[in-house]
């Protein structure tokens, strides 16, 4: 997952876009790796659920 996140961040920089790590969340499901996912050296917040366009998403 970290590799994919790095690829998105690298491509975003080329397009002059930024990722706001304060507004980005991570939901891990069945993850055996406890290493935090980072963007621009900042760890993303790991959450159990969040609401996206009125839909509640959770790790179930």
Split at pLDDT 50, 70, 90, the class of 25 is confident
Residue 20 pLDDT: 79
Left (φ > 0), alpha (ψ -120 to 50) or beta: where does 30 sit? left
3-state secondary structure of 12: helix
**DSSP category for residue 47:** -
3-state secondary structure of 44: coil
Model confidence at 3: pLDDT above 80: yes
Model confidence at 1: pLDDT above 80: no
Cα separation, 7 vs 12, whole angstroms: 8
């Amino acid at each position: 997952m970290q590799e994919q996140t790095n690829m998105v961040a690298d491509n975003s920089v080329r397009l002059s876009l930024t990722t706001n790590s304060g507004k980005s969340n991570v939901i891990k499901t069945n993850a055996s790796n406890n290493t935090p996912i980072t963007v621009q050296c900042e760890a993303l917040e790991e959450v159990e659920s969040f609401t996206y366009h009125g839909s509640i998403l959770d790790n179930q």
